[in-house]
Amino acid sequence: MKSLDSKIPNGDLVSKWSQHKFNLNLVNPSNKKKYTVIVVGTGLAGASAAATMAELGYNVLAFSYHESPRRAHSIAAQGGINAAKNYQNDGDSVFRLFYDTIKGGDYRSREANVYRLAELSSNIIDQCAAQGVPFAREYGGHLANRSFGGAQVSRTFYARGQTGQQLLLGAYSALIRQMNLKTVKFFPRHEMLDLVTIDGHAKGIIARNLLTGDIQSYPANAVVLATGGYGNVFYLSTNAMASNVTASWRAHKKGALFANPCFTQIHPTCIPVSSNHQSKLTLMSESLRNDGRVWVPKKKNDLRDPNQISEEERDYYLERLYPSFGNLVPRDVASRRAKEMCDNGFGVGNTRLAVYLDFKDVIAKQGKNWVAEKYGNLFDMYHQITGESPYEKPMMIYPAVHYTMGGLWVDYNLMSNIPGLYVTGEANFSDHGANRLGASALMQGLADGYFILPYTIGDYLAKESSALNSTHEEYQNGVQFCNEQIKNMLSIKGNKTVDDLHKELGKIMWDYVGMSRNKSNLELALKQIPSIREDFWNNVNIPGTGKEFNPELEKAGRLADFIELGELMAKDALNREESCGGHFREEHQTDDNEAKRNDENYSFVAAWEYVKEKESIMHKEQLIFENVKLATRSYK
Amino acid sequence: MQFLFSSIGKKIQVAISGIFLCIFLVFHLLNNITLFFGPAVFNAMVHFLESIKPMIRIMEFGLLFILIMHIGNAIKLTIENKAANPVNYKQSQSNDVSSLNSRTMLISGTIILLFIILHLSYIWLSYQTHNPNNHSETYYDILLRNKIGFLGHKWTALFYVIAISIIAFHLRHGFQSALKTLGFLPNSKNNFLYKIAFIFWGIIPFGFIVIVLSIQFGIIN
Amino acid sequence: MQLTLKIWRQSSAESTGFFEKYIVDNVTADMSFFEMLDMLNNDLIKQNKSPIVFDHDCREGICGTCGLVINGRAHGPLKGVTACQLHMRTFKNGETLTVEPWRAKSFKVIKDLAVDRQAFDKIMEAGGYISVKTGGAPDANAMPIFKENADEAFDSATCIGCGACVAACKNSSAMLFVGAKVNQYAQLPQGQVEHSKRVKNMVEAMDSAGFGNCTNTGACEAECPKEISISNIIKLNKEYLKFH
């Protein structure tokens, strides 16, 4: 077993980060430009990191499979971003945000990381406001806040329902400014296919130009992966169509440990699946739960129009089960309860896989205009997709895969176990434990990119020589390996399309490794996924060639990695004999169907090591809690 | 210089020159209205203008310069715009998204230019070659003489009415577009600037048409 | 329902394109337009024909990746809706739909319906930012901003950079895109310091990228999926005039 040194600094929680920053080695300013850093992915975490490192003076190469950094899926985050500003004077503090995040994550994250995140949250808001991000404001001109899933204070900053878009455009503007200054070289429509390691250190990547199919090596002194999450392993998720695990997975195959892959978040408020042609799911911001009330009919299989069902015949089950948090319980709880209601026959809509989210009361109380001002764009989006107006009829919602807490293992410096390989944002596993609180993803991506990585990467580079041997055989080997893999895939010419196979994988993942899991289903998944892998490598049909713009080929490469990841997820889920956060094992629940953690035996991070053609090996990083008392989460 | 050749700079030149041309139309109409007050008033007005001929000449050259600035930049913009958008959509549904006026400014403008040339060659030129001292005809008579040869003829009158309508059509987009280009005109239809625009594309062309028809139907004689 | 599609096929930027006719069956009302294309592509692959390439990613109407012209209308016939959010209930059984890529010199066709919009990034590079370094920001509430200004800045900032304005414009002008960014920063106190430089540089970059000139036809505003107002162009004109 590898020793997993999380490099958490000593000292008390509050001063760890500032002390650590002082202890970090610095790179001489005049030497910084000699160091090349590759950033893969230019969403919130990647763009902010690339821009900030360029400001510091490093030579940055930024890669994206999109045509522009502004297309990254960070853009789709709707609700907001948390910060412990306490502008509302409602008792918020860094410690409270830290505590809420640790508790929300069901005590499966590192104290030190989470505290640092809470501490930096305020700086993010300052930074973004200075960039011209048009946050919502009060009439007095100050920033507005709202409360958000699972929090009892108003600490969420927002820009209508498009906070992610505005923050990404902010990070994009910082990045593009550096592109103009020629401190960042941007490689659009380039997909990372492999990591190059030399003597165990990350020394660059292999990337394919998606327009020409040209595969090349790009040497660098350090590599940062900011490549997002792997929710698309379920085929249907709220992730963008191109979101994938390939960069992380290929790094994993080069030795980077993959931590807690089974921790996936199911978002409770998504538009339900309508048919098997569905290509993706659309999220309705969780902020809707601030004013909408969730209910199902009290009678099973009640097919009446929701407006015909009287108050007495409705079961506002979240308010009934959780009197103090009501509709604002954390995502995992709200999702699981919705599934339970539907499984018990109370579901609504054609598929019976939906519950109502009703705005009748708030419209009556505050008026339609007030609601439109706050949620107008979400209501329009819902109307556009379903053909029904939430002003007139309650929304129908159902949980969907939304975010993945798991990811590549990183230490306190955000460096993986491969020296020189850093992982930021959703791609790493670090801060959200087993469940992420609403409005924390944007916070983490930007904290990593703006305020953590640019410091910590210097500590590594200061000890490394800036010299790069671009003729090293590892670069050529990497290019050759990737070319061959593509050639192999293209030569199969079977009878199944990539989408067919992806749907098959998604169904297994959703049914057996989805919202609620049990041993026999997980074992079933572990039996079935390898046969899909087999099927893929024997039967996939990829049209066209590798020397042209070929989106089907891109999809195929990503699916190949998803299949392998799916297996690891099932393995991890099977291994974790407890329920915590987004990971719910039916065998481990309390009498009233709440998740039952096993702190004694599973208070660890499961970091998996890839072993070629053999079973993956699990390494444990024990989680130590010195500042919070582990308690059963209760939202009653 | 860079300003003059930038996209917005060229637009602004078209806009300013267009607005000057519109203002010229106001004076033109005011002059023509004197026709309604009989030969004495009209002739007196023309004689007054003759008496300040050097100034009028300068203004005429100014007007020519403005016209060239308007047309020259418009043509340049059109060529660049065509180059920027070399391929048309197979099925175009532009009426749903933009007005016909706005899309045919070059065509309406070209027709107006031809009209101006004809108009000048008929009336302006005959005034230039006219020497009231050697001739019994007054300026007023020239116009009425034209009743037979020119304006009074029903086909000529019809041609004038059509041409003036096309000016209206051109200004329907042109005037408010010029204001937008100059940074006025908030996008609210209630703004008073839209009412001013109506004077130029509605009232003034209507006034010219009334005059042409008045001559045709003998109200002015 | 059944639909006839006439789709633009072009194998590369250099080659000449053509329309190809496809008949698609089993289209359901709750399918999105792209799910209908997915279904068609799945069939094409199985017949060993090359699938239709089109730009898309989030399918939630926010990333701005998608963009195609359906029956002459950018993002299809609905107002304020991106192509990815367009659902088949908008169309009638038996209808013929002509599907084309964005047409503009500055947006080269990459393949079929996918175009290259990097010209937008070039314009943004010229000034679409506030020059603030990471870490140097004062407290966010130290600079109050009128709610009206913040709201107007937001309205302009909702631009998703899809390029529908350029595609819809008979002149392929990018002035709505540029105007929206200029106006966003013009509304905010933190955007003032570099304001005049930003306006000049972005207009210059826009011109040199080969976009056409605005003639105020209003097609951009009508086709913008985020319904960004043409008043952004008016304000851009004003700012440009002001700084010369």
Instruction: List the beta bridge partners of residue A197.
Output: A202
Residues of C in contact with B87 (CB under 8 A): 103
What length is written for chain A? 636
Q: What is the pLDDT of residues A218-271, one digit of tens each?
A: 999 999 999 999 999 999 999 999 999 999 999 999 999 999 999 999 999 999
Continuous segment of H or E residues that includes residue C160: none
Distance (Å) from the alpha carbon of C101 to chain B's nearest alpha carbon: 9
Distance from CA of B180 to the nearest CA of C (A): 5
SS (H, E, C) A357-394: EECHHHHHHHCHHHHHHHHHHHHHHHHHHHCCCCCCCC
Chain C residues with beta carbon closer than 8 angstroms to that of A381: 60-61, 85
- The length of chain C is 244
* Interchain contact, B81 vs C218, CB within 8 Å: no
Query: From residue C64, how far is each of A59, A131, A554, B49, C150 by CA, in Å?
Result: 29, 21, 20, 61, 23
Question: Are A247 and A194 spatial neighbours (Cβ–Cβ below 8 Å)?
Answer: no
Q: What per-residue confidence (pLDDT) applies to B196? A: 87
Q: Is the pLDDT of residue B188 over 70?
A: no
pLDDT at A295 over 50: yes
CB within 8 A of A95, min separation 6: which ones?
A: A118
Whether there are 3 or more C-beta pairs closer than 8 Å between C and B is: yes
- Please give the C-alpha separations between residue B96 and each of A109, A544, C76, C77, C88, in angstroms, as whole numbers: 55, 39, 12, 9, 20
Q: Is the distance from CB of B81 to CB of C217 less than 8 angstroms? A: no
Domain identity same for C64 and C153: no
User: Which secondary structure element, helix H or strand E, spans residue A209, and what is its range?
Assistant: strand A201-209
How many whole angstroms separate alpha carbon C74 and alpha carbon C225? Answer: 9
Residue A160 clears pLDDT 70, i.e. is over it: yes
* Helices A551-575, A519-539: inter-axial angle, 10-degree rounding: 160
B and A in touch (3+ CB pairs within 8 angstroms): no
Residue carrying structure tokens 């590892």: A474
The span from the CA of A283 to the CA of A397, in Å, is 9
Write down the mean pLDDT value for chain A.
95
Q: Cβ contacts (< 8 Å) between C219 and chain B: which residues?
A: 94, 97-98
- Cα–Cα distance between A25 and A558 in angstroms, integer? 37
Q: Are residues C100 and C185 in the same domain?
A: no
pLDDT of residue C179: 97
Tokens of B136: 């019994």
Task: Check B7 against C105: CB less than 8 A apart.
Answer: no
Please identify which residue in the block is written with the tokens 């579901």.
A347
The residues facing C74 across adjacent strands are C69
Q: From the list C31, C36, C150, which residue is nearest A137 (CB)? A: C150
pLDDT of residue A157: 96
Q: Are C225 and C164 spatial neighbours (Cβ–Cβ below 8 Å)? A: yes
* In the block, residue with structure tokens 């590594």: A460
Q: Please tell me which residue of chain C has the smallest CA distance to A166.
A: C157
**Percent of chain A scored above 70 by pLDDT?**
99
CB C135 within 8 A of CB C238: no
Residue A522 to residues A430, A516, A598, Cα–Cα distance (Å): 25, 10, 19
Taking the Cβ of residue C4 and every Cβ of chain B, the question of whether any pair is shorter than 8 Å is answered with no
Asked whether A284 and A355 are in contact (CB, 8 A), the reply is: no
Q: How far is C244 from chain A (nearest CA, A)?
A: 24
Chains contacting B (3+ CB pairs below 8 angstroms): C
Q: How far is A283 from chain C (nearest CA, A)?
A: 9
Q: How many other C-beta atoms can be found within 10 angstroms of the C-beta atom of residue B174?
A: 30
Q: Which residue(s) pair with A403 in the sheet?
A: A265
Tokens of C154: 């937001």
Angle, vertex CA A327, rays to CA A321 and CA A332, nearest 5: 80
Cα–Cα distance for residue pair C217/A147, rounded to 1 Å: 44
Q: Are residues C192 and C168 in the same domain?
A: yes
* B79 shares contact with chain C (CB less than 8 Å): no
Q: What pLDDT is attached to residue A3?
A: 67
Q: Domain check: are C26 and C125 in the same one?
A: no
DSSP letters for B102-147: HHTHHHHHHHHHHHHHHHIIIIIHHHHT--GGG-S--HHHHHHHHH
- Subunit contact C117:A67, Cβ cutoff 8 A: yes
Helix (H, G, I), strand (E, B) or coil at A579: coil
CB pairs under 8 A between A and C: 217
**Are both C161 and C216 inside the same structural domain?**
yes
DSSP conformational letter for A458 = H
**Does ipTM exceed 0.90?**
yes
Asked if A116 and A410 count as a contact pair (C-beta separation under 8 A), the reply is: no
Does residue C101 share a domain with residue C129? no
| B40-90 per-position pLDDT tens digit | 898 888 889 888 989 999 999 999 999 999 999 999 999 999 999 999 998
The model's confidence at residue B130, banded by pLDDT at 50, 70 and 90, is low
Q: Are residues C7 and C91 in the same domain?
A: yes
Q: Is B103 on the interface with C (CB under 8 A)?
A: yes
What does the pLDDT read at residue B189? 66
* B89: closest CA of chain C, how far (Å): 6
Catalytic residue selected from A250, A293, A331, A597: A331
What would the two tokens of residue A457 be? Answer: 């990467």
- CA–CA gap between residue A302 and residue C30 (Å, rounded): 23
Task: Give contacts of C143 with chain A, Cβ < 8 Å.
Answer: 129
Q: What integer pLDDT is reported at residue A147 of this predicted model?
A: 84
Domain-ending residue, one of C111, C134, C156: C111
Distance from C-alpha of A165 to C-alpha of C62, rounded to nearest angstrom: 8
Q: What is the pLDDT of residue B148?
A: 44
- Locate A274 and state its tokens: 């309508």
Residues of chain C with Cβ-Cβ distance to B16 below 8 Å are none
Give the tens place of pLDDT for each residue, C4-30.
999 999 999 999 999 999 999 999 999
Q: Do the chains contact at A549 and C111, CB–CB below 8 Å?
A: yes
CA distance A481 to chain C (A): 26
Catalytic-residue membership of A331: yes
Q: Do residues C128 and C97 both lie within one domain?
A: no
Tens digits of pLDDT across chain C (244 residues): 999 999 999 999 999 999 999 999 999 999 999 999 999 999 999 999 999 999 999 999 999 999 999 999 999 999 999 999 999 999 999 999 999 999 999 999 999 999 999 999 999 999 999 999 999 899 999 999 999 999 999 999 999 999 999 999 999 999 999 999 999 999 999 989 999 999 999 999 999 999 999 999 999 999 999 999 999 999 999 999 988 8
C-alpha A550/C-alpha A541 separation (Å) is: 13
**What six digits make up the tokens of A471?**
């003729």
Inter-chain residue contact A541 with C45, CB threshold 8 Å = yes
pLDDT tens per residue, range A383-442: 988 999 999 999 999 999 999 999 999 999 999 999 999 999 999 999 999 999 889 999
Residues of chain C in contact with residue B7, where contact means CB-CB under 8 angstroms, are 173, 175, 203, 206-207, 211-214
Give pLDDT, residue A149.
Answer: 67
Q: Which of B77, B94, B185 sits opposite C219 (nearest CB)?
A: B94
User: At residue A346, does pLDDT exceed 70?
Assistant: yes
How many other C-beta atoms are found inside a 10 Å radius of the C-beta of residue C76? 24
Residue of chain C whose Cα is closest to the Cα of B91:
C72
Structure-token match 């084309």, residue found: C100
Q: Which residues 181-210 of chain B have a CB within 8 Å of chain C?
A: 181-187
CA of A86 vs chain C CAs: smallest distance (Å): 11
Closest CA to A535 of A563, A557, A561, A514: A563
Spatial CB neighbours of A11, under 8 Å, sequence gap ≥ 6 = A19
How far the first Cα of chain C sits from its last, in Å, is: 58
Residues A223, A38 contacting (CB under 8 angstroms): yes
Rounded distance, CA A233 to CA A501, Å?
11
Within A476-594, strands assigned E span none
Q: What is the largest CA-CA distance in chain C?
A: 63
Residues 28-87 of C with CB under 8 A from B: 69, 71-73, 77
Q: Which positions ≥6 away from B23 have C-beta within 8 Å?
A: none
Q: Are residues C204 and C143 in the same domain?
A: yes
**Residue A488, both tokens:** 């192999």
Residue C17: domain span: 3-111
CB < 8 Å to B6, chain C: 203-204, 207, 240
Q: Same domain, yes or no, for C24 and C103?
A: yes
User: What one-character DSSP code corresponds to residue A92?
Assistant: -
- Domain stops at, among C64, C91, C111: C111
Q: Are residues C180 and C101 in the same domain?
A: no
Identify the three-state secondary structure at position A436: coil
Tokens in use for A439?
Answer: 């409005």
Q: What is the C-alpha to C-alpha distance for residues A77 and A169, in angstroms, rounded to an integer?
A: 12
Looking at C82, C111, C140, which one is the last position of a domain? C111
Quick check: B209 and B164 in contact, CB under 8 A? yes
B89 near C CB under 8 A: yes
Residue ranges per structural domain of chain B? 2-78+100-216
Residue A62, SS3?
strand
Domains of chain A: 267-401 (3.90.700.10), 474-622 (1.20.58.100)
B95 pLDDT band, cuts 50/70/90, is confident
B147 at the C interface (CB within 8 A)?
A: no
CATH code assigned at C50: 3.10.20.30
A415 phi, psi to nearest 5 deg: -95, 140
Confidence bin at B186 (pLDDT 50/70/90) = low
Q: How far apart, in whole angstroms, are the C-alpha atoms of residue B113 and residue B219?
A: 29
Q: Give yes or no: residues C224 and C151 share one domain.
A: yes
Average pLDDT over residues B125-143: 69
CB burial class (10 A; 0-12, 13-18, 19+) of residue C84? Answer: buried
Return the percentage of chain A with pLDDT > 90, whole number: 88
Question: For residue B163, with 0-12 CB atoms within 10 Å meaning exposed, 13-18 middle and 19 or more buried, which class applies?
Answer: buried
> CB of C82 within 8 Å of any CB in chain A?
no
Q: Which two tokens stand for residue A622?
A: 């024990």
Q: How many domains does chain C have?
A: 2
Whole-prediction pTM value? 0.95
Which one, of A196, A215, A73, lies nearest residue A554 by Cα?
A215
By C-alpha distance, which of A53, A461, A429 is closest to A256? A429
Helix %, strand %, coil % for chain B, to 5?
80, 0, 20
Interface check B99 vs C, CB under 8 A: yes
Q: Are A347 and C44 in contact (CB under 8 A)?
A: no
Which residue type does A105 have? G
* DSSP per-residue codes, C123-141: HHHTT-S----TT-PPPGG
Phi, psi of A428 (to 5 degrees): -95, 175
Average pLDDT score over residue span A118-138:
96
- The two beta strands, A201-209 and A146-147, are unpaired
Region A168-193 average pLDDT: 98
